[in-house]
Amino acid sequence: MNATPQVLAVLDEVLASAAPGERGALWRLAEQGRELDANVVRLPPGEGVGVHQEDALDVLLVVLAGAGSLRTGAGETLRLGPTTVVWLPRTSRRALDAGPEGLTYLTAHRRRPGLAVKPAAVRAPAFEGGEAPCMLDLVCPECGRLSADRAPRFCSACGEPFPGR
């Protein structure tokens, strides 16, 4: 494969073209064969992403517009404003809250493989006690990530709202 660098987006244009109340992922990296995921996410004023933990990946978060705060699992509150760069190490617990102007940020991390359903022949044998509970309501319909939150309102990976919440 002979890959060629290319401009994928101009973020000033992405932000300017978004409707004023638009929330969630405004842009996402979607090129075939990539080993990286990236999203531009907007949270409206006073909204947030609940407490969650990413066990497999470090995430880089860069604030593009607005302000807010990041609550850590250690009980700290980090103030976020334009040009703030935050490292979210894997296994760290965190929650995001948008300030009165809202919060728009870029996230980037190593690409994770999508969820896959294995054929019945590969499944582990059933153990006494019944089947595991269905967790489809915890899978983001947009990016396919399984939420660690038992009642997610928004996907911690792409920022999209979960249906019916």
CATH of the domain at 89: 2.60.120.10
Number of Cα atoms under 13 Å in the Cβ half of residue 22: 13
152 domain residue, yes or no: no
Please say whether the beta carbons of 155 and 143 come within 8 A: yes
Residue 8: which pLDDT band, with cuts at 50, 70 and 90? very high
Residue type for 62, please? V
Q: Is 125 exposed, middle or buried (0-12, 13-18, 19+ CB in 10 A)?
A: exposed
Which residue segment(s) compose the domain that 65 sits in?
A: 15-114
Query: Cα 68 to chain center, whole Å?
Result: 16
**Phi, psi angle pair for 120, to nearest 5°:** -55, -35
The kind and range of the H/E element at 11 are helix 11-17
Please state the pTM of the whole predicted model.
0.68
Average pLDDT over residues 74-88: 96
Q: Which of 45-49, 63-67, 139-143 has the highest mean pLDDT?
A: 63-67
Q: What is the pLDDT of residue 117?
A: 59
Residue 43 lies in a domain: yes
| Residue 5 domain flag | no
User: Is 163 domain-assigned?
Assistant: no
Q: What is the mean pLDDT of residues 77-104?
A: 96
User: Does 160 reside within a domain?
Assistant: no
For residue 122, pLDDT over 80 is answered with: no
Look at the chain and report how many structural domains it folds into: 1
Residue 96 domain-assigned (yes or no): yes
pLDDT of residue 107: 94
**153 belongs to a structural domain:** no
**pLDDT confidence band for 126 (50 / 70 / 90):** very low
Are residues 73 and 52 in contact, defined by beta-carbon separation less than 8 angstroms? Answer: no
Q: Report if residue 136 sits inside a domain.
A: no
